[in-house]
Amino acid sequence: MSTRTMFAALALLGTGLLSQGCETFNSILESTPKPTASIKDVRFANASFTKLDLVFDVDVKNPYDVSLPLLNLDYSLTGGQQHLLTGAAPLSGSIPANGSKTVSLPASVSLAEALKFFSGVRPGGTLPYSADLKLLVDAPALGKIPVPISRSGQVKVPNIPGL
């Protein structure tokens, strides 16, 4: 057998083993449990002359034997057919090993945008919403994992205090 033929045979064998290894690695990744999260509540935290602060209370479950550091949150909120806010917030803290924790995640919207969004909604009333979030966690051995979270519901519009 010539050197060239032997090299070609080894290359084919190596390619076959590599592709088998990638398939095995991918199946291991797919079967590995991943963190989950669900929105428990959305509420108004504060209102000023310039902005409204919202808080998403998110329950995060960690299936790993080590704590799970929180990195970032991307969020988008719509009400009815109108878009209210999109943004990102850096996070700190972690979810305990094999446990869960409710994390309060802040988001802000300018008062001008909020007034356009809430036009026609009475103070004390409710507003239907749809929230889409992506929580980024740092999983052991897997690295950064995005955990998608969605919820639709209603949020109570705060009453305007008398002046």
pLDDT in tens, 98-131: 999 998 878 887 877 777 776 777 777 777 888 8
Cα gap 94→35, rounded to integer Å: 12
Cα gap 30→136, rounded to integer Å: 18
pLDDT at 57 over 80: yes
Confidence of residue 162 (pLDDT cuts 50, 70, 90): low
Best-predicted range by mean pLDDT among 41-45, 114-118, 144-148? Answer: 144-148
Cα gap 33→142, rounded to integer Å: 11
Instruction: Look up the pTM and report it.
Output: 0.64
- On average, the pLDDT of the chain sits at 77
